[in-house]
Chains A and B, each alone.
Chain A
Amino acid sequence: MPPTTTPRPARPRGVTPRLAYRPGVAGRGVVWALVTAVPLVFLTVFFAYPVASIVLRGFAPDGAVDLTAFGEVFARPRTWRIIGLTFAQATVATAIAVVLGLPGAYLLYRCDFPGRTALRAFVIVPFVLPTVVVGVAFRSVLAPHGPLGFLGWDGTFAAVVAALVFFNYAVVVRTVGGFWAALDPRAEQAARALGAPPWRAFTSVTLPALTPAIASAAAIVFLFCATAFGVVLVLGGPRYGTVETEIWVQTTQFLDLPAAAVLSVVQLAVVAVALVVAGRARDRRERALQLRSAETAHPHRLALRGPDRRTGDVVAVAVTTAVGVLLLALPLGTVLVRSFRTRDGWGLGNYVALGTTGGPNALSVTVWEAALTSLRVAVDATLVAVVVGGLVALVVSRRPRGRAGRRAVRTLDAVFMLPLGVSAVTVGFGFLVALQRPFGLDLNLRDSLVLIPIAQAVVAIPLVVRTVLPVLRAIDTRLHEAAAVLGAAPGQVLRLVDWPLAARSLGLAVGLAFAVSLGEFGATAFLARPDQPTLPVVIFRLIGRPGADNLGMALAASVVLALLTATVMLLTERLRAGGRTTAAGEF
Chain B
Amino acid sequence: MARNLARSTTRHTAQHDPGGGTGSGSPARRTARAVVVGTATALALTACTAFDGGGSGNGSGGTTDDGASGDAPAGGTGTVVLVTHDSFALSEELIARFEADTGLTLEQRAPGDGGALVNQLILTRDAPLGDVVFGIDNSFASRAIDEGVLEPYSSPAAGEDVARYAVDDEGHLTAIDVGDVCINVDREWFAEAGLPEPETLEDLTDPQYRDLLVVTNPATSSPGLAFLLATVGAFGEDGWVDYWAALRDNGVKVAGGWSDAYYVDFTGPSSEGTDRPLVLSYASSPPYEVPEGVTDPADAPTRALLDTCFRQVEYAGVLAGAANPEGARQVIDWLLSPEVQADIPGSMYVYPVDSSVELPESWATFAPPAPEPFEVDPAAITENRDAWIQTWTNTVLG
Contact = CB atoms under 8 A, between A and B. Distances in A.
Nearest to A78: B393
Interface centre among B47, B49, B255 (most CB of A within 10 A): B49
Given A387-B5, A452-B50, A551-B270, A234 B346 contact: no
Interface stretch (A107-115, A203-211, A220-228, A522-530): A522-530
A549 interface: yes
Nearest to A255: B119
B12 A449 contact: no
B343 to A, nearest CB: 8
Contact of A490 (B23, B269, B360): B23
B64 A233 contact: no
A440 B65 CA distance: 15
A521 B108 CA distance: 19
A395 B12 CA distance: 11
A528 B86 contact: yes
A493 B129 CA distance: 50
A545 B275 CA distance: 21
B14 A491 contact: yes
Interface stretch (A85-93, A182-190, A276-284, A376-384): A376-384
A237 interface: yes
B387 to A, nearest CB: 10
A449 B29 CA distance: 34
B292 to A, nearest CB: 7
Contact of A491 (B31, B58, B85): B31
A13 B90 CA distance: 67
Contacts of B5: 383, 386-387, 587
Interface of A: 10, 13, 15, 17, 20-21, 23-28, 30-32, 34-35, 38, 54, 57, 132, 135-136, 139-140, 143-145, 233-239, 245, 248-249, 251-257, 343-344, 359-361, 363-365, 373, 376-377, 379-380, 383-384, 386-387, 390-391, 394-395, 398, 401, 425, 428-429, 432-433, 436-437, 443-444, 446-450, 452-453, 480-481, 483-484, 487-491, 493-495, 498-499, 503, 506, 510, 525-533, 537, 541, 543-551, 585-587
Contacts, number: 350
Given A30-B29, A380-B49, A488-B22, 18 more contacts: A24-B24, A25-B21, A27-B31, A145-B272, A145-B274, A233-B256, A252-B116, A373-B53, A384-B43, A429-B120, A450-B63, A453-B50, A491-B11, A499-B10, A526-B111, A531-B58, A531-B108, A546-B270
Interface stretch (B167-175, B239-247, B283-291, B307-315): B283-291
B6 A587 contact: yes
B122 interface: yes
Nearest to B47: A450
B103 interface: no
A429 B264 contact: no
B76 to A, nearest CB: 23
B53 A361 contact: no
A24 B23 contact: yes
A506 B118 CA distance: 42
Nearest to A457: B46
Nearest to A359: B288
Nearest to A135: B260
A499 B11 CA distance: 10
B219 interface: yes
Contacts of A499: 10
A527 B111 contact: yes
B32 A34 contact: yes
Contact of A383 (B10, B45, B274): B45
A230 B123 CA distance: 25
Interface stretch (B34-42, B158-166, B201-209): B34-42
